[in-house]
Amino acid sequence: MSGLRALVTGGAGFIGSHVAELLIADGYAVTILDNLSSGRNDNIPAAATFVLGDVTTPDAGTLIREGQFDVITHLAAQIDVRRSVADPIADATINVLGTLRVVEAVRASGRATRVVFASTGGALYGDFATPPNAETVPKDPESPYGIAKLSAEYYLTYAARLHGVDTVALRFANVYGPRQDPHGEAGVVAIFCGRVLDGRAVTIFGDGRQTRDYVFVTDVARANVAAARAKLPPPGRLDARAFNVGTGIETSVTALAAALGTATRRPVPVEHAPARPGEQLRSSVTIDKASAVLGWQPRTGLAEGLAKTYSWFAERRAPGAAH
Residues identified as active-site = 145
Phi, psi (rounded to 5 degrees) for 94: -80, -50
- Measure the CA–CA gap between 57 and 252, rounded to whole angstroms: 39
Rounded CA separation 215/245 (Å): 8
Q: Residue 319, Cβ neighbours under 10 Å: how many?
A: 4
Burial 212-236 (b: 16+ CB within 10 A, else e): bbbbbbbbbbbbbbbbbebebeebe
**Rounded CA separation 195/257 (Å):** 11
Q: With b meaning 16 or more CB within 10 Å and e meaning fewer, what string describes 28-54?
A: bbbbbbbbeebbeeebbbeebebbebb
Reported as half-sphere exposure (CB side, CA atoms, 13 A), residue 64 has a value of: 33
CB atoms within 10 A of CB 138: 9
Whether the CA torsion 161, 167, 168, 172 is positive or negative: it is negative
